[in-house]
Amino acid sequence: MYAFNNGYSYWEANAQPPLPPSPSGGSYSSESSDADSISVTPVSFRNADFAGGQVSQSQAVNDGQSADDGQAAASVAKPKSKGLSKLLSVVSLRRNNAADDVVEQPADTASSLDADGTIDSTNSAGGMTGEEMSSLPLVDEPVVLGMETGPDILSYENSACLPHQAFYNDPFLLGLIQQAIVGNQELRILAEEVRIASNEAYARSGEYRPFVNFGLGAGLDKPSRFTRGGAVEEALEVAPGKGFPEPLPDFLIGANVSWEIDIWHRLRNAQRAAAMRYFATQEGRNFVVTRLVAEIAEKYYDLLALDGRREIVNKTIEIQQASRVAAQAKKDAGRGTELAVQRFQAEIEKNQAELSVIMQDIVEAENRINFLVGRYPQPVERINVEFIDLNLNTLNAGVPSQLLRNRADIRQAEREVAAAGLDVRSARARFYPSLDLTAGLGWNAFSTGYLFRSPESLMYGVAAELVGPLINKRAIQAAYSTANATQLQAIYKYQQTVLEAHIEVVNYITKVENYRRSIESKKQQMRSLEASVDSATKLFQNARAEYVEVLLAQRELMEAKLQVIETKREQLSAIVNAYQALGGGAF
């Protein structure tokens, strides 16, 4: 189970993040042209108090088998593990001669490919299936990080499963998020990138199908009589007593068929790699959506914090103005000096200058929100609430393995790995011979009157060509080595993404708890300073305390209140970012 240890809530982890699901429980390898390869072997994810079990991972593409041939299932054994849940895995590099160097695409994305290789975008979510996830053991007690008066939503094991409409219960904030989803320019740009990736996959789906071309042609030809063609035409007759016209017209109508038989699945794998990149682009956009939702929420609470700072400074100015009036009255009564009046006036001027800076910060915060929403500068509507007492919903961290399902950037990296593996397979197929079939059918004559006279004007032909590389394979070898390097690069990026996600969650969930404790302590300090300001003011009015004591007490109280506001802002920011880091905020 998760626990706080001296203010630090953590998931125990190994040195390196895991690899994406292996296609057949085998290894990821990068082969060179001499069949000597580097293989990266994943160690399966482990959960606390888990003595065994299996997670079924379906292959989307099998070696030497098309998408219509079905999918084969593979199992990844779960070894025993002690201690806390382990998200990260150890990666071993070894030299071997393995031939299987392909990272398979997840089964859920394979089902999104139609039988003709086109994309069905209705099923592009990442991670494991519901049955596979349900087979994973859960920890006894998930992390629950909540506000002291926030509503209880413990029915959600992971806050990432909670819709943003429920997590953020502020109607003004929800309205800004909805406007941003529609009007944000970056999301529009990413939507076009998704469209481009879809078109690329669609275009590649036609490369392994027959090409049929239809054409019409007409021309004139006058060969020299001192050439073979001219001499033959001079000696022959089209009909008894009738020679070939000069110049000789040429009319043609027909169709050509060309088809590269995809024996080694080079073209199909290239198409599937493009489909994987399409799904990766979709997941990339989904991740940007979660970041956009988090940034809008963060800036919105920054705006509420600035409102709180402005209110504190205004109240402090009012208190100091009253103290200045009291100092002026004491001076008029001969019990005080001008020094006290001027010191209070200077403090008022300083706070008024600070107030102007806060007003500018409010304008900039509002315009940042306007930019994210996609609208021109205008005031941002927001709730009127005591910022220090503002609370969000309870935050549940769930189990580490859920990051792989909920985080869109991890799903994106997983699909990039699958695409890179398919690119390796496609590049390897270029070493083998290719089989091309060509055929043509049409009518050809020197006169339109003879054009459709069959079989005299009919012409057709069929040919097959088997061609393979023999000498100078450097370009093919270089492309193959590049594909292998790209595959390993994608695997390392996947590991980096998982590691970064893990660290983000740990940082934010511990920050929420530690800042909650800090706020409690600062509230106690603030109550003590409020009492000291009240006592100092009364003593000053009764000539039993100096004005300096009043000034210091008021200054310390304002600073304490501002520190509470800042700490509260940091805590809300941590909650927002923890919700996003867990995978929440997606549409």
In a domain, 450, yes or no: yes
In a domain, 344, yes or no: no
Which portions of the chain are predicted below pLDDT 70?
A: 1-157, 398, 400
Residue 95 CA: distances (Å) to CA of 33, 35, 50, 71, 336: 14, 10, 32, 29, 88
Give me the pLDDT at residue 57, please.
34
CA separation for the pair 10, 192 (Å, rounded): 39
CA separation for the pair 476, 511 (Å, rounded): 52
In a domain, 4, yes or no: no
CATH number of the domain to which 247 belongs: 2.20.200.10
Residue 299 CA: distances (Å) to CA of 168, 184, 385, 530: 14, 15, 16, 30
Tokens of 277: 């990149």
In a domain, 454, yes or no: yes
pLDDT by residue (tens digit) across 138-164?
Answer: 333 333 344 333 333 334 567 778 888
Give me the pLDDT at residue 264, please.
94
CA separation for the pair 485, 481 (Å, rounded): 6
**Domain count of the chain?**
1
Residue 221 CA: distances (Å) to CA of 245, 250, 449: 10, 7, 18
Q: In this structure, are residues 437 and 463 in contact, taking their beta carbons and an 8 Å threshold?
A: yes
The β-bridge partners of 95 are 38
Give me the pLDDT at residue 334, please.
81
Find all residues with CB under 8 Å of 69, minimum gap 6, and list them.
Answer: 62
Single out the residue of 85, 84, 128, 88 nearest to residue 106, CA to CA. Answer: 128
Q: In this structure, are residues 542 and 490 in contact, taking their beta carbons and an 8 Å threshold?
A: no
3-class SS at 511? helix
Domain span at residue 226 reads 209-261+434-467
CA separation for the pair 460, 446 (Å, rounded): 17
CA separation for the pair 537, 551 (Å, rounded): 9
Tokens of 527: 């109550």
pTM of the model: 0.71
Residue 233: exposure state from Cβ atoms within 10 A (0-12, 13-18, ≥19) = buried
In a domain, 256, yes or no: yes
Tokens of 382: 């927001």
Q: Left, alpha or beta for 228 (phi > 0: left; psi -120 to 50: alpha)?
A: alpha
